[in-house]
Structure 1
């Protein structure tokens, strides 16, 4: 069965950097560009309208949909299928545990990777990359922590502390776990998030 990778974590936990490393190390990895309707960053997204997202939702084409930073985001079946059909391993960036679970409706061997970093890491990385909404990202860090605690029995294939591992180390750990066909297990979330 083909594989997919879910990178879940708070803002600044390294989803972009690790994705970049994965795509450099192995050509079959590809970032899944979520649909986005609203303001803010457009790099890494397929820009669309709320009406289009609504239409996809009505026709059952969405695996997951959420709102954050005054924008609407969606993961569509067609977008994931297009990558799989071209023999790529889709990498999905997630900020909600329910989203990580919802995409499992698409029949792939999903590797669920929990990326974690402390609040000060999120804040310093956000400032360092010039985000204009640092406080919104700090708020999202807290929301991610609460989300993990509310779903602490949720299984993860791999848990990586990205304040302690470089992006290349993290990418190689993901590649190794994928090669080993590692299975998802519950983690000690309370210890992880403090």
Structure 2
């Protein structure tokens, strides 16, 4: 019996979560970014935009696995959304909070591979400015919060750690794909 496999990419803003997810999908189309439910404004690409009422309904029936607020918005990982993502292939969930990792691993049974993506604060600043973010200051505050989050959860274990300043997105994708193959007991190339 093979268990469903998923990937959690944890890291500060601009650490490469989107870029590595894209490289994973190019490597194997079964990989796709999990679109969290977003209640709020701003960027909608990569999210399922929802309403406060939708979120309340999901919470009322116990279908919210994890919820957090950042950048003035609310983001939720919901059971029906994760179910749909597994039905489509291998979900890649982006998180910036260790509590979110724990909630997902403990709250949704699957074989989750947890990957820490890291880059220095100044790299987050350069990448954020380079991609035209209008909220670079907020992203730097989120970088600081991620660093603090790591410090308050020293027992967190990672299946893989990737320094995105020295590892190409394609190499990171290959490492993640190899990790999942090893965990599934499949031969690796």
**Structure 2 length-normalised TM:** 0.93
Does 1:91 pair with 2:92? Answer: yes
Residue in 1 that maps onto 2:187? none
* Residue of structure 1 in register with 2:119 after alignment: 117
3-state secondary structure, aligned to 2:83: helix
Q: CA deviation at 1:85?
A: 2.3
In structure 2, the gaps of 5 or more residues are: 185-189
Q: Which runs of 4+ in 1 moved over 6 A?
A: none
Per the alignment, in what secondary structure is the counterpart of residue 155 of structure 1?
A: coil
Match of 1:169 in 2: 171
Structure 2 distance, partners of 1:68, 1:113, is: 21
C-alpha separation in 2, matches of 1:181 and 1:117: 26
The one of 56, 59, 64 aligned to 1:57: 59
Mapped partners of 2:73, 2:5: distance in 1: 29
Which residue pairs with 2:182 in the alignment? 180
Contact (CA 8 Å) 1:5, 1:92: kept in 2 or not?
yes
1:22, distance to aligned residue in structure 2 (A): 0.3
2:69 aligned partner: 67
Which residue of 2 is the match for residue 8 of structure 1?
Answer: 10
Task: Give the Å deviation of 1:51.
Answer: 2.1
Shift of 1:27: 1.2
Tell me the distance in 2 between the aligned counterparts of 1:52 and 1:151: 31
Cα deviation code 1:51-80 (max 9, x no counterpart)? 211221121001100000000000011111
Query: Are the counterparts in 2 of residues 14 and 162 from structure 1 also a CA contact under 8 Å?
Result: yes
1:139 paired to 2:141 = yes
Per the alignment, residue 185 of structure 1 pairs with: none
User: What are the ranges of 5 or more consecutive residues in structure 1 without an aligned counterpart?
Assistant: 183-194
Match of 2:26 in 1: 24
CA distance in 1, matches of 2:42, 2:96: 16
Say if 1:50 and 1:72, in contact at 8 Å, map to a contact too: no
CA RMSD of aligned residues (A): 1.0
How many residue pairs match? The answer is 181
